[in-house]
């Protein structure tokens, strides 16, 4: 699993930062969270072919989070995209995408499925993971997203070797949690296997502090959170329904997150080191993202 920060700026891009867009890569899935203007170029800089993208999760319909969609879809079409792009977003996403499609002819460019996420909780179930959404408190409908990997049952190789169990279908049954009979002995799956807890990645963008911030972030291995303003501008953050570095850090701390990555910085901050240091006061495992930053999870 890998995270690639394609853009880390807020409403306006800067020389150093593109609009906020993050890519989560997991096995054959490449899930794009938001699609700010210039995303197709950022993908090129990150050496990620656009046809690899499988899903687009839109947090909300403010321009800095979706202006990159037309260019991205054109890029995918020109590169012979042969999948069906799944697009999810808050209520109103289907209508908004239909309006964009009329202008840009998306339906003729690539195959896509667009869905409104109408309630909190699980909205997609896959073989190895599921996706959850939680409504936030912004000036328009906005969602937090959680990627949650399924727990995996692993084989204790030391015990297996001692028992002399060979590679093959028998091990496969044990890994599924099934008890087996081997050399006239019953082998209990829970004695020779263990559960490896799946990873949880949470994305919180464009919101004022609210209860769902904590619900979405609960026990996250990595919390990716907006930090539009520093602590001294907390009044402005509340007015525009955004988070400060302190807000993000306390969400991580109170939600038992393991690691916090700050993003979505106002253009007023050329250097976000102070914002990172502010967050560290309240949650030590905090760091500020930068464009094209990659994290192996």
Active site residue 64: yes
> To the nearest 5 percent, what fractions of the chain are helix, strand and coil?
30, 30, 35
Please check whether residue 296 is in contact with residue 264, taking contact to mean a CB–CB distance below 8 angstroms: no
DSSP 11: S
Buried-exposed string 145-158: b where 16+ CB fall within 10 A, e elsewhere: bbbbbeeeeebeee
Of 207, 202, 227, nearest in space to 277 by CA: 227
**Angstrom distances, CA of residue 216 to CA of 23, 118, 131, 238, 253:** 18, 16, 11, 20, 13
DSSP 234-256: HHHHHHTT--BHHHHHHHHHHTT
The structure tokens listed for 144 are 């937090």
Q: Which residue is it, tokens 């990716």?
A: 224
215: Cβ contacts below 8 Å, ≥ 6 apart: 120, 134
Of these residues, 64, 206, 221, 291, which one is catalytic? 64
Rounded-to-integer distance, Cα 49 and Cα 187, Å: 46
- Mind telling me the catalytic residues? 64
């Amino acid at each position: 699993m890998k995270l690639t920060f394609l853009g880390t700026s807020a409403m306006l891009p800067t020389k150093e930062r593109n609009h906020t867009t993050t890519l989560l890569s997991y096995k054959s899935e490449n899930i794009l969270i938001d699609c700010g203007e210039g995303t197709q170029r950022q993908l090129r800089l990150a050496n990620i072919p656009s046809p690899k993208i499988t899903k687009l999760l839109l947090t909300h319909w403010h321009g800095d989070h979706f202006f990159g969609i037309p260019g991205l879809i054109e890029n995918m079409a020109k590169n012979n995209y042969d999948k069906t792009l799944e697009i999810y977003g808050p209520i109103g996403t289907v209508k908004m995408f239909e309006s964009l499609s009329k202008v840009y002819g998306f339906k003729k460019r690539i195959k896509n499925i667009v869905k409104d996420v109408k309630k909190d909780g699980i909205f997609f179930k896959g073989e190895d993971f599921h996706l959850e959404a939680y409504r936030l408190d912004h000036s328009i409908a906005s969602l937090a997203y959680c990627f949650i990997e399924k727990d995996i049952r692993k084989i204790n190789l030391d015990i297996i070797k001692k028992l002399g169990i060979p590679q093959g279908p028998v091990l496969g049954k044990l890994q599924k949690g099934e008890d087996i009979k081997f050399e006239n002995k019953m082998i209990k799956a829970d004695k020779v296997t263990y559960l490896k807890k799946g990873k949880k990645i949470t994305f919180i963008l464009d919101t004022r502090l609210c209860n769902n911030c904590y619900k979405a972030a609960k026990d996250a291995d990595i919390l990716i959170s907006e930090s539009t303003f520093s602590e001294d501008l907390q009044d402005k953050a509340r007015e525009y329904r955004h988070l400060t570095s302190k807000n993000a850090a306390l969400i991580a701390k109170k939600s038992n997150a393991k690691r916090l990555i700050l993003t979505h910085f106002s253009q007023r901050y050329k250097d976000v080191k102070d914002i990172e240091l502010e967050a560290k006061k309240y949650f030590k495992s905090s760091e500020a993202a930068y464009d094209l930053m990659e994290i192996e999870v």
